[in-house]
Amino acid sequence: MKISIITASFNSSKTIKKTLESVKNQTYTNIEHIIIDGLSIDNTISIVNTFSHVSKVVVEKDNGIYDAINKGIQLATGDIVGILNSDDVFYDNHVISNISKAFKQNNNLDSIIGDIVFINNKKQVHRKYSASTWSPMKFAWGMMPPHPTFYCKKSIFDKFGFYRNDFKIAADYELMMKRDERVLRFLTVRMDADHVAYAEKRRAKLAAN
């Protein structure tokens, strides 16, 4: 089972090295790491080019983060697709292995979510999110799982479409809610014991979900 990880970047030189190392160090080997960069003017791409595990790199102007993510999904050749932001890292080296096991053990799964830990620029835990508390009913309250923990079969994107580019924010909410309406097997398994990613809180702003 191949798992595609999409990282959208723009002037991410301060953080993307740790993101790249986090993917490189995964014990699971059948990974496709795709970088979609929106014409960074710092040395983001120079850093990316030092990592041989990166499968594909696209450097061109985009219409925002959702457009960049959509480009990555369209390029992805993996069975499963997930997103790792350019300032996020996996909790440990076994995260993708755990995700693969979850799909292999549950053939009817379309997607899964996991736990996430938010940290500040001093590496202090700011907030924890547990997937064990999630229910699709929470969509009605405007709540959604953090998108870095959302891993979905590529075939679901092919069938139901991608992130809406006309949304500046909340396209991830709209996409997950749309799948919940159409796909009964959405979010039926949680990675309860396995934190999926750290999300870094920079400049005292809460990291976006």
Residue 151 CA, chain-centre distance (Å), reads: 7
Query: What are the 10-residue block averages of pLDDT along the chain, 209 residues in total?
Result: 96 95 96 97 97 97 86 95 92 91 84 78 70 59 66 83 60 54 39 43 32
**What are 41-81's pLDDT values in tens digits?**
999 999 999 999 999 999 999 887 788 989 999 999 999 99
CATH of the domain at 142: 3.90.550.10
Answer yes or no: is 24 within a domain. yes
Task: Tell me the pTM.
Answer: 0.78
Domain tally for the chain? Answer: 1
CB-CB contact of 185 with 103 (8 Å): no
Q: What is the DSSP letter of 206?
A: P
Answer yes or no: is 208 within a domain. no
Answer yes or no: is 115 within a domain. yes
Domain containing residue 16 = 3-201
Euclidean distance between the first and the last CA atom of the chain, given in angstroms as a whole number: 27
Answer yes or no: is 125 within a domain. yes
Q: Is 142 left (phi over 0), alpha (psi -120 to 50) or beta?
A: left
Answer yes or no: is 207 within a domain. no
Answer yes or no: is 193 within a domain. yes
Answer yes or no: is 209 within a domain. no
